Structure 1
Amino acid sequence: MSYAHLSIIERRQLRQLEALHRLGWTAREIARELKRHHFTIAPRTKMRKNG
């Protein structure tokens, strides 16, 4: 899988999926839903948790 930034639509989806993260979804599960690598998602879920 090649590297690519999240699109604006994917960023919106990620915001919507933050609720799932708070409910216990892992970065891997969210990444699977977005069809992205979990390394792309994990830092964003950590940023949201800490900030």
Structure 2
Amino acid sequence: MLEYGDQAVVTLSSYETPIGLSKRMGFLGGSRTIDAYLIMSMSLLNAIKGK
């Protein structure tokens, strides 16, 4: 894809919260869930950085 000059678009939403996290902490029901989602999002973005 990159060799043709195309760029990937990544969209994250609260629906990508892992089901285990949602069940254990509540679906965006508290600051711990939001903090965990932020860590997950940053990990994903760091994994694709520079690609």
Scaled by the length of structure 1, the TM-score of the pair is 0.30
Taking CA–CA contacts closer than 8 Å with sequence separation of 6 or more, which of the two structures ends up with the larger relative contact order? Answer: 1
User: Under a length normalisation based on structure 2, what TM-score does the superposition of the two structures give?
Assistant: 0.30
Structure richer in helix, relative to its length: 1
* Bigger-Rg structure (1/2): 2
